[in-house]
């Protein structure tokens, strides 16, 4: 969603180190017809990352959010027409659940099948987690859970059948790879930490999250 306007990305947020360089992304126009055609390919199992990002607005904040919401609705419409899963990027303002509340409102209004919605890099509060659980969403966790304890309680709340693993490579490398470029292979470290938090075996995490991915993306 930050690509709907020119947006600054700092090197620390991109993982730090020599490989991470700050940059400004260009603002892009969403070509609905083009992406509808692209998503129609049977190899496409989902649309994303799409959603709302209110963390660092540029320009007029009202216009910034309105533009993101409009583009996200275009993604939702395509996903519903083509029966595709949504991989959702949602990042609220610091200390707030504002983007999550707006996201839930949009998908509720559109009656999107939330069993086909994945909340990528989930960082919501316990109260927001309860709302998303009740609505039927799926949650995805990455390397940040290996070095921050901010999400342990939310992970404990969520049934394992609603959790996916990810790396967000090349960003946010997990322990013991912090400061280096993240790689998909490092998802093992996320699974290990999930096993510790959920008090189940690594093999159980690997099996269930793989089954979840196949079900959610119908692959």
Residue 92's pLDDT band (cuts 50, 70, 90): very high
Dig out the tokens for 131 from the structure. 């709302």
Where helices occur in the chain by DSSP H, the ranges are 32-39, 61-82, 98-109, 126-135, 152-157, 187-198, 202-217
Q: pLDDT by residue (tens digit) across 37-89?
A: 999 999 999 999 999 999 987 778 898 899 999 999 999 999 999 999 999 99
Q: pLDDT by residue (tens digit) across 29-47?
A: 889 999 999 999 999 999 9
Taking the alpha carbons at both ends of the chain, their separation in whole angstroms is 26
SS3 content of the chain, % helix, strand, coil (to 5): 45, 15, 40
Cα–Cα distance measured from residue 101 to residue 99, given in angstroms and rounded to the nearest whole number: 5
- pTM (2 d.p.): 0.89
Q: What is the mean pLDDT of residues 84-96?
A: 95
Q: Assess contact for 83 and 108: CB atoms under 8 A.
A: no
């Amino acid at each position: 969603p930050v690509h709907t306007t020119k947006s600054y990305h700092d090197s620390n947020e991109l993982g730090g180190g020599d490989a991470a360089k700050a940059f400004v992304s260009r603002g892009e126009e969403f070509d609905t017809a083009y992406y509808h055609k692209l998503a129609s390919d049977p190899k496409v199992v989902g649309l994303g990352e799409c959603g709302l990002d209110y963390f660092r607005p540029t320009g007029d904040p009202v216009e910034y959010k309105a533009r993101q919401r409009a583009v996200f609705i275009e993604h939702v419409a395509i996903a519903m027409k083509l029966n595709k899963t949504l991989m959702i990027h949602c990042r609220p303002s610091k200390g707030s659940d504002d983007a999550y509340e707006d996201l839930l409102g949009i998908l509720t209004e559109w009656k999107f099948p939330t069993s086909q919605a994945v909340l990528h890099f989930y960082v919501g509060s316990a109260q927001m987690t309860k709302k998303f659980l009740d609505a039927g969403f799926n949650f995805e966790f990455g390397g940040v859970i290996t070095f921050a304890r901010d999400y342990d309680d939310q992970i404990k709340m969520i049934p394992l059948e609603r959790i996916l693993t990810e790396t967000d490579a090349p960003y946010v490398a997990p322990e013991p790879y912090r400061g280096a470029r993240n790689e998909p292979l490092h998802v093992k470290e996320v699974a290990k930490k999930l096993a510790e938090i959920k008090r189940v075996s690594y093999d159980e995490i690997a099996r269930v999250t793989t089954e979840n991915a196949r079900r959610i993306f119908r692959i």
